Each structure stands twice: as structure tokens, then as C-alpha cells.
Amino acid sequence: MNDTKTPLTKQIAVTAVLLAVCIASQIFKTFSVYITGPIINLCLILAAVTAGLMWGIILAVITPVTAFIIASSPVMNAVPGIIPLIMLGNAVLVVMVHFLFKPAISGEGSFINVRSVIMAVLSALAKGCFMGLTISLWLLPTFIPEASPIREKMPVFQTTFSITQFVTALIGFVYFFIIWKPLKSVLNKQ
């Protein structure tokens, strides 16, 4: 779907459905980030390719806020500045997907090929690197006091906001590759 040809009401509806899926998945955040993370990343990817860049970025901004409200983590409570950086990390993924996948998505041929896999890895890597540099290497070490009891969990937090972000984005792309063809058929019929 091309966001310039998609009616505004359809873009809003698609984004609203994806936001609802994100909110529902965040309930499971306490079980495992490997449940919630891939679903959130899938929704960000779908928003970028179906509703467009602006709506993908809107979803990228809203989801960390809903995550904080639904199931905030100790690190989010200790360092609220993490939320805007998560928003930006999500936006990095959306922008990468929008510009790298848009030509492949709008084509009629099969887009699941070596090039698509490389684009997916690059997009996931960009998100993981951005969040790793800004959150894991700068924000957390700078703003979690040495005397804080959560300081001892710093390696876990640093892994969560770098490597885990990369992995969950990759899993989100796997889900995307699985569902895109049938989903594209349904979206094109409407």
C-alpha cells in the first residue's frame, strides 16, 4: 500500500488496530520481552508499510508511553528519560523500514529475497545500535546512581536495550515476512 494513495480514514484505522495489538501485547511484558518485543516491532513495521511514515512514527511514540502505563519496569521508573530514547529507537526502525522496504512492498513480485533479508537486518541493527549507544552506553550509566539498588542489574538493562532490541526487531521481521503476502491481499481488496 502506498501511503499517498491510502485514504486518511484507512490510515487511522490501520494505526488504531496496530496500537490495540501493541497494548494487548504489553500485558505480557512481565512474562518475557521476547513475547511483547517482536509484536511491537511487527506493528511498527506494518504501520510503516501500510499506513505510512507519519503513522508509523506516531505508533513509535505512543507505544513506550503505553508500556510505561501498563507495565513499567524499575529502570523506566528510575530513569524516565529512557522513554524518549525508546521512542526515537522505534522511530529509527520505522524510518528505515519506510525507506528501505517501500520500493519492494509496492512491487508486484516476491519481495522476500536476499535483499529483503539484508534490509531487515540493517533496519533491526540500526534500532539496536541507536538504543545501545543512547540508552545502554550513555543514559543508564550516567543517570542511575552508584548507590541505587538497581545499579547491580545494569548488565541486564544494557543487554535489554541493545542486543535484545536487535533480536526482537529481527523476530518482528520474521513475523512480517510470514504474514505480509496474505495481509497485502486483504488490504488491497478493501
Does the domain spanning 8-189 belong to CATH 1.10.287? no
Specify the pLDDT at position 138: 97
Q: Are 52 and 3 in contact (CB under 8 A)?
A: yes
User: Domain map of the chain by residue range?
Assistant: 8-189
Give the residue with greater pLDDT, 32 vs 29: 32
Tell me what the mean pLDDT of segment 81-107 comes to.
90
What share of the chain in percent tops pLDDT 70? Answer: 94
Report d(CA 110, CA 85) in Å as an integer. 35
**58-86: per-residue pLDDT in tens?**
999 999 999 999 988 888 988 999 999 99
DSSP letters spanning 57-68: HHHHHHHHHHHH
Report d(CA 76, CA 189) in Å as an integer. 42
- What does the mean pLDDT of the chain come to? 90
Report d(CA 185, CA 75) in Å as an integer. 41
Q: What is the pTM of this model?
A: 0.92
Tell me what the mean pLDDT of segment 109-123 comes to.
85
Specify the pLDDT at position 106: 66
**Residue 41: closest CA among 128, 118, 104:** 128
Neighbours of 89 (CB within 10 A): 27
Q: Is the pLDDT of residue 3 over 60?
A: no
Specify the pLDDT at position 107: 63
